[in-house]
Amino acid sequence: MDYIHLNEMAFYGYHGVLREETKLGQRFRVTVSLATNLKEAGKTDDLSKTVNYAEVYELCKGIVEGPPFQLIETVAENIADRILFNYADKVSGVRVQLIKPDPPIAGHYDSVAIDITRGHFA
């Protein structure tokens, strides 16, 4: 299995349970890994034989910077669902890591993150 990774994409969104999160917004970082077959693209140098990661970036941006959700789990699930739907002929599985670097939680920590895998991801 081959993979395309879009690492640490940075967006600004309004997701969260607390009022200040949905009013003020906050930073989000997203890493997406796509399970795919890159052999034909590698042999032919043909973009149509692979997944255009600029399109995947825009898809992720539209979800993270779009209408708010309470849970980052929902944001990640939407990203995974849209990728699997839009690229069903090329992507067999997707892994989404969504990081919330600055959640309004008292304490000392680097970030809060969730990590989901959908489809066939070896």
The sheet with strand 91-100 has its strands ordered as 2-13, 26-36, 91-100, 112-119
Q: How far is CA 95 from the centre of its chain?
A: 8
What span, in angstroms and rounded, lies between the C-alpha atoms of 104 and 115? Answer: 20
Establish whether 100 is a catalytic residue: yes
Query: How far, in Å, are 10, 90, 95, 100, 104 from residue 7 at the CA level?
Result: 9, 19, 11, 15, 24
Q: Of the candidates 12, 56, 31, which has an alpha carbon nearest to the alpha carbon of residue 115?
A: 31
Residues catalogued as catalytic: 100
